Chain A
Amino acid sequence: MELKKYLIACSFLLSFLSFSQEKFTLSGTLKDGGSGEDLIGARVTVVELPGTGAITNEYGFYSLTLPQGTYTIRYKSLGFISGEFQIELNQDIQKNIELVPEGKTLTTVNVTAEKLDENVKSAEMGVDKLSMKDIENIPVLFGEKDPLKTIQLLPGVKSAGEGNSGFYVRGGGADQNLILLDGAPVYNASHLLGFFSVFNSDALKDIKLYKGGAPAEFGGRLSSVLDIKMKEGNLKKFSASGGIGLISSKLTLEAPIVKDKGSFIVSGRRTYADLFLKLSKDENAQNSILYFYDLNAKANYRLGDKDRLFISGYFGRDKFGFADQFGFDWGNTTATLRWNHIYNDKLFGNTSFIFSNYNYKIKFGADDETFEIGSVIQDFNLKQDFDWYINENNTVTFGANVIHHTFKPGQIETGSGIDFVLSDVPNTYSVESAVYISNEQKIGKRVTLIYGLRGSNFTQLGNDDVVYTFNTAGEVTQTDSTKLWQNVQSYWGLSPRFSSNFLLNEKSSIKAGYARTFQYLHLISNSTASSPTDIWLPSSVNIKPQIADQFSLGYFRNFLNNQLEFSTEVYYKIMQNVIDYRDGAEVTLNPTVEGELLFGRGRAYGLELLLKKRRGKFTGWVSYTLSRTEKLFTDINDSSWFPARQDRTHDVSIVGMYNINDQFTVSASWVYYTGNAVTFPSGKYEIDGQIVNYYTERNGYRMPDYHRLDLGMTFYHKKYREVKDPETGQMKQVPKKWLSSWNVSVYNAYARENAYTISFRENPDTGETEAVQLALFKVIPSITYNFKF
């Protein structure tokens, strides 16, 4: 049945080819004339043919196929001066365009420019894009600009907790988000227990979050795809930017390798809380370590008109250490080698080789009496993607990829002074592969469809060790020894994706979508906070892939000449094979951890509203989500549905930024959400000399409502010098080379004590049991100095 649909879709596509004979193609790239960065989502239109146009892809490439003739081509991108040119199209023509940035916004070029009514006209649903400018101005904890915290202010996206960079999308778990940095998956996107994300916003170019039907290109996680692209580096001249903040400093350098042909960017960030420890009189404090750092680097080189090579990488680590008794460090490494090739004026291709590694290491003891536990996840990924601009009504994307996963859940090393031998937890190996095809088709002036299919396979390979099979009670029923590369268990997944847009008029549209997603890797974490020791487990003989089906429907409307965007979406999501744990499950260093898991079902539904003002002196948005997320497991809560931890009925975010003048911007954000579902005791008893809580229903209670106001203020030093023109005698403005700004922010401005945890314990004086609330951050002011030259 699924295959048949696929064949119909293919023949449908091919039928469009025969019409394109006497047409010619105009293609090329659009770039920022100031820095040479590719312009994503810029618009190229044909004046003579209203409604005909193209939008540049993520590498700035566009392709327009038109009947022979003479045309006026107009190009525009938000934040740049629009332009047009005449062209006689009697052959295929390649035309690269550089756009000049608009006058005064020198420091804050909006790189995620797109056409103004994109949200109404595109068939994409459940997609949020964030500009770096939004991220720059929104106040955050400790003044650390953080894309993962800014996306939490969008409808349907919820914070994993106070100050936490983890997030939940439409009822999905924090591990159900595919976080990609230049295409490489980042397995643990948080620093310092989740209070900061690994993404240094200075090195980033573009952020896109797919909450609903992600394009068929993406797969492997149930709930969302967060696609983060790094900057490419200034192709024109050397430039540097940086910031000095309360807890970290950062520096970014960019320069051309060969002007207009190749460039690089290097960006680093390091926290320095530990430097204060050095000031301590205490020797152990001086020897303690506590910091994290990130390093992003990217280089690109144009090999000719048709080929471009990118190499990018990320390296970051957290390091903790206490005297010489205890050490703990973890981090991600990713590397992407990508080759863009324009096969012809209609076919754009991308070949990527991607590496990703996450590992942690814990070391106890000193001298030769040491004990080290380590864990590694490592991916090698080969990916081929094509964009095929068949004609003005059809754009096909297709491709394939193969990932080899290695999991080393527990590697143990002991020093020579420890006289017993410890065995490692066996490694596991698997291969995840996929092929996909998708078409964006315009039918008439009103209808746009995106339909695609992704087929995936996940194969658990032998590990040259034993593979256990468990029964439903978690007992080992079978122990098989396996050889390397032996096929142990294979799963297939067919994910149809569909989204559609029906334009009601120029200003409003209705969209509908459906997507099925598969997740083959599962994060095993039974605590609330993000912990570096949370482990990932691949699907196996015992763990089936998680599957989600999501249906969504939306209404989009723009007001006031596209200044104001309104959208509302409803969704219903069904999840299968979601994971929870047996009571008292041991998840670390347990070779039979798969026996500790329980499998159940989930359902999530909700309504999202967003009103956004994108242009003008005042920008910002109001978002509201009404939702419910529930789970069902045979062995939990007497086999009845219970609310998931991330089930929050109401979730409101209000974000406002006001540009008072060229030098002064103020911003504020306010969030409110229903408290998480939690398990509180309904009784207590005495055993083993202590008072113990007695629980009845899972997640049957609520944390108190959460709300918080953050305020921010950015003061820019003058961007221009006033100079008297020696010829005319008039004053004129000359741009300064050194641009700088001060950013002051206050987190939790009205000092709301939001409950981080609530524990029930005996008051040692009165002997009575009390509910004790722990609130993490009251008013946290911070200040950052940023510069650029």
Chain B
Amino acid sequence: MKKGFIFIAGLLVFAFSCEKVIDIPLNEAEQRIVVEAVLFDVEDSSFIKLSKTGSVYDNSDFEKISGATVTVSDDQGNTFTFIEDPLTPGLYLDTTFIAQPYRTYDLSIIAAGETITATSTTYEDIQFDSLDYFYQAGSFGNPDSSYFVFFNFTDNGADKNFYRAIPVINGAKSGTYYLTDDKLFNGNNYRQPFFAEEMGHGDTLIAYIVSMDEANYTYLNTLSSNGGGGPFSPTPSNPVSNLEGNAIGFFGVFMTGYEQIIFP
């Protein structure tokens, strides 16, 4: 909704506008621990990354945190130990981990003298019903011809569900967050386009559907609007984290499904 609106606004106003890089001195924030703990119901795909924040104007090769103790346990008494990958500092893996539906997982990290904990819950496994598409000829404001892809899935009526769809085009993950809760379609089919993506002849699209708990939905939602600065974005703020302890980031255990299209 906002996209179309901004687009039209942009058309009128930004026709006159100009951009330039300026010099703005910024304060130096105290370094924080960053946790990205992402677990899936697919073997060999879960990971936990530990790093630190850096200066705004520095290069984005952030300091990694090695030597941490990282464990995940579920409400059935299973414990998984994530071991640092010898080739990639700060990346902790347990290749045997597979998330199960309707479980609660606890994360525990001891790193750089801090103890960080978090909890995440899974819901029913989710799959796309289908992906469908049509070819849209170039148009006003959107001059490139492109495939316009819709994804379809069916919500579980019993739970309060939160979803994210992730398009990966020719191996590149989209920067747009397609997030939705089932408030408006509980127990029904849902259909939505990947409105911000451009796909042409011969491109490969792999689309993932991810089901998550409310805390992760809130995190991703606030993360996606974090950019700030635009006239239609809210006052920028840090995403709402589900971590306990002196760290920023999130812990999410996700059920996923995927579909692939190779465009003619």
In the assembled complex, how far is the CB of residue A559 from the closest CB belonging to chain B, in whole angstroms?
42
The chain B residue sitting closest to A766, CB to CB, is B59
- Complex Cα–Cα for A584 and B237 (A): 8
Q: Are B189 and A683 in contact (CB under 8 A)?
A: no
B-chain residues with CB within 8 Å of residue A290 when the two chains form the complex: 8, 11-12
- Given contacts A688-B36, A696-B29, A767-B59, is CB(A527)–CB(B234) below 8 Å? yes
A458 interface residue per 8 A CB criterion? no
Docked pose: A58 CA to B32 CA in angstroms: 63
Across the two chains, which residue of chain B brings its CB closest to A687? B36
B227 cross-chain contacts in A, Cβ below 8 A: 693, 759, 761
Residues of chain B within 8 A of A760, CB atoms compared: 56, 229
In angstroms, Cα B39 to Cα A164, docked, is 47
A771 touches B16 (CB 8 A): no
Per-position contact with B for A743-787: 1 when CB-CB < 8 Å, else 0?
Answer: 000000000010111111110000111111111111010000000
- Are B27 and A700 within 8 A (Cβ)? yes
Contact segment of B17-25, B96-104, B107-115, B117-125: B17-25
Q: Residue A584 contacts which of B12, B21, B27, B222 (CB distance < 8 angstroms)?
A: B222
Say yes or no for B89: interface residue by CB 8 A criterion: no
24 A–B contacts from the bound complex (CB under 8 Å)? A284-B140, A285-B141, A290-B11, A322-B7, A419-B188, A527-B233, A583-B237, A583-B240, A584-B239, A586-B221, A589-B184, A679-B235, A680-B26, A683-B32, A686-B51, A686-B62, A687-B223, A688-B36, A694-B32, A694-B53, A696-B29, A757-B229, A757-B231, A769-B56
**Which residue from chain A places its CB closest to the CB of B18 in the assembled complex?**
A775
A-B contact count (CB 8 A): 214
Instruction: Tell me, in angstroms, the Cα distance from A756 to B13 when the chains sit together.
Output: 12
Q: Mark B224-264, 1 if CB is under 8 A from A, else 0.
A: 01111111111111111000000011100000000000000
For A759, the chain B residues whose CB sits under 8 A away are: 227-230
The interface bits of chain A over 243-280 (1 if a CB of B lies within 8 angstroms of the residue's CB, else 0) are: 00000000000000000000000000000010001001
| Docked pose: A582 CA to B4 CA in angstroms | 26
Say if the beta carbon of B146 comes within 8 Å of chain A. no
- A757 — which chain B residues lie within 8 A by C-beta? 229-231
Q: Which residues of A contact B234 (CB under 8 A)?
A: 526-527, 581, 585
Q: Which residues of B contact A691 (CB under 8 A)?
A: 60
Does residue B131 face the partner (Cβ distance < 8 Å to A)? Answer: no
The answer for the CA separation of A589 and B175 in the assembled complex, in Å, is 25
Query: Contact partner of B28 among A284, A586, A682, A775, CB < 8 A?
Result: A682
List 10 A-B pairs, minimum CB-CB distance, nearest first: A584-B222, A285-B140, A759-B229, A682-B29, A529-B231, A284-B139, A683-B29, A526-B234, A420-B188, A683-B53
Say whether A769 contacts B228, CB under 8 Å: no
Establish whether residues B21 and A770, one from each chain, have CB atoms under 8 Å apart when the complex forms. Answer: yes
CB distance from B135 to the nearest CB of A (A): 15
What number of A residues sit within 8 Å (CB to CB) of B?
A: 85
Establish whether residues A679 and B13, one from each chain, have CB atoms under 8 Å apart when the complex forms.
no
B57 within 8 A of A: yes
| A693:B228 contact, CB within 8 angstroms | yes
> B34 touches which one: A686, A690, A699, A753 (CB < 8 A)?
A686
Q: Is the CB of B226 within 8 A of A692?
A: yes
A422 at the interface (CB under 8 A from B): yes
The one of B26, B29, B185 in contact with A420, judged by C-beta atoms closer than 8 angstroms, is B185
Closest residue of chain B to A281 (Cβ to Cβ) is B140
**Cβ B226 vs Cβ A693 within 8 A:** yes
Q: Is the CB of B229 within 8 A of A776?
A: no
Residues of A within 8 Å of B17, CB to CB, are 756, 774-777
Q: At the interface, yes or no: A494 with Cβ under 8 Å from chain B?
A: no
Cβ of A504: which chain B residues have Cβ within 8 Å of it?
A: none
Measured CB to CB, the closest approach of chain A to B26, in angstroms, equals 6
Instruction: Given A679-B236, A772-B20, verify A277-B226 contact (CB < 8 Å).
Output: no
Check B56 against A772 for contact (C-beta < 8 Å): no
Task: Tell me which of A373, A588, A758, A769 contacts B22 (CB under 8 A).
Answer: A758
Given A362-B1, A584-B239, A759-B229, decide whether A195 and B13 contact each other with a Cβ distance below 8 A.
yes
Are A419's CB and B228's CB within 8 A? no
**Would you call B60 and A762 a contact (CB within 8 A)?**
yes
Among A320, A698, A771, point to the contact of B23 (Cβ < 8 A): A771
Q: Are A685 and B34 in contact (CB under 8 A)?
A: yes
- Residues in A neighbouring B1, C-beta threshold 8 A: 362, 364, 373, 533, 588
Question: Are A690 and B235 in contact (CB-based, < 8 A)?
Answer: no
Question: Which residue of the partner chain B has the closest CB to A771?
Answer: B24
Partner of A419, one of B32, B139, B189: B189
Chain B neighbourhood of A699, CB < 8 A = 235
Q: Are B60 and A686 in contact (CB under 8 A)?
A: yes
Contact of A694 among B57, B233, B238 (CB under 8 A): B238
User: Is A734 interfacial (CB 8 A cutoff)?
Assistant: no
Contacts of A412 in B (CB 8 A): 184
Chain B residues within an 8 Å CB radius of A364:
1
B22 in contact with A771 (CB, 8 Å): yes
Contacting residue for B140 out of A288, A320, A528, A688, CB 8 A = A288
Q: Does B55 contact A (CB under 8 A)?
A: yes
* Given A328-B4, A767-B60: A680 and B16 interface contact (C-beta under 8 Å): no
Contact B24 A687 (CB under 8 A): no
Nearest-CB distance from A667 to chain B (Å)? 22
Residues in chain A near residue B173, CB distance under 8 A: 689
Interface membership of B196, Cβ < 8 A = no
Among A193, A320, A680, point to the contact of B24 (Cβ < 8 A).
A680
Residue of B nearest to A779 (CB): B16
A583-B231 in contact (CB<8A) = no
Contact B13 A776 (CB under 8 A): yes
Closest residue of chain B to A369 (Cβ to Cβ) is: B191
Question: What chain A residues lie within 8 Å of B62 (beta carbons)?
Answer: 685-686
Q: In the complex, how many angstroms separate the beta carbon of A198 from the nearest chain B beta carbon?
A: 17
Q: Which residue of B lies closest to A760 (CB)?
A: B56
A696 (CB) vs chain B CBs: closest residue: B29
B172 CB, min distance to chain A CBs, angstroms: 10
A282 surroundings in chain B (CB, below 8 A): 139-140
In Å, the complex CA distance between A693 and B223 comes to 10
Which residues from chain A contact B23 at a C-beta distance below 8 Å? 771
A192 at the interface (CB under 8 A from B): yes
Chain B proximity mask over A212-233: 1 for CB below 8 Å, otherwise 0 = 0000000000000000000000
Interface residue? A59 (CB, 8 A): no
- Residue of B whose beta carbon sits closest to that of A423: B184
B53–A322 touching, CB < 8 Å: no
Binary CB contact string for chain A from 559 to 594 against chain B (1 if under 8 A, 0 otherwise): 000000000000000000000010111101100000
Q: How far is the CA of A768 from the CA of B22 in the complex (A)?
A: 13
CA distance A780 to B47 in the complex (A): 54
User: Residue A492 at the B interface, CB < 8 A?
Assistant: no
Shortest Cβ distance from B143 into A: residue: A282
* Distance in Å: Cβ of B43 to nearest Cβ of chain A: 21
Interface string of B180-207 (1 = CB under 8 A from A): 0000110011100000000000000000
Q: Is the CB of B29 within 8 A of A679?
A: no
Chain A residues 406-435 with CB under 8 Å of chain B are 412, 419-420, 422-423
Chain A CB within 8 A of B5 CB: yes
A591 to B, closest residue via Cβ: B183
A693-718: contact bitstring with B at CB < 8 Å (1 yes, 0 no)?
Answer: 11110111100100000000000000
* Min C-beta distance of A284 to chain B, whole Å: 4
Specify which chain B residues have a CB less than 8 angstroms from the CB of A273 in the assembled complex. Answer: 12
Tell me, in angstroms, the Cα distance from A423 to B184 when the chains sit together: 7
Tell me which residues across on chain A come within 8 A of B34, comparing CB atoms: 685-687
Q: Does A303 contact B (CB under 8 A)?
A: no
Contact partners of A288 in chain B: CB under 8 A: 140
List 14 additional A-B contacts (Cβ < 8 Å) besides A683-B56, A768-B59: A362-B1, A423-B184, A584-B239, A683-B32, A685-B32, A685-B34, A685-B53, A685-B248, A690-B175, A692-B226, A756-B17, A768-B57, A769-B57, A769-B60
Known: A273-B12, A773-B19. A683 touches B55 (CB 8 A): yes
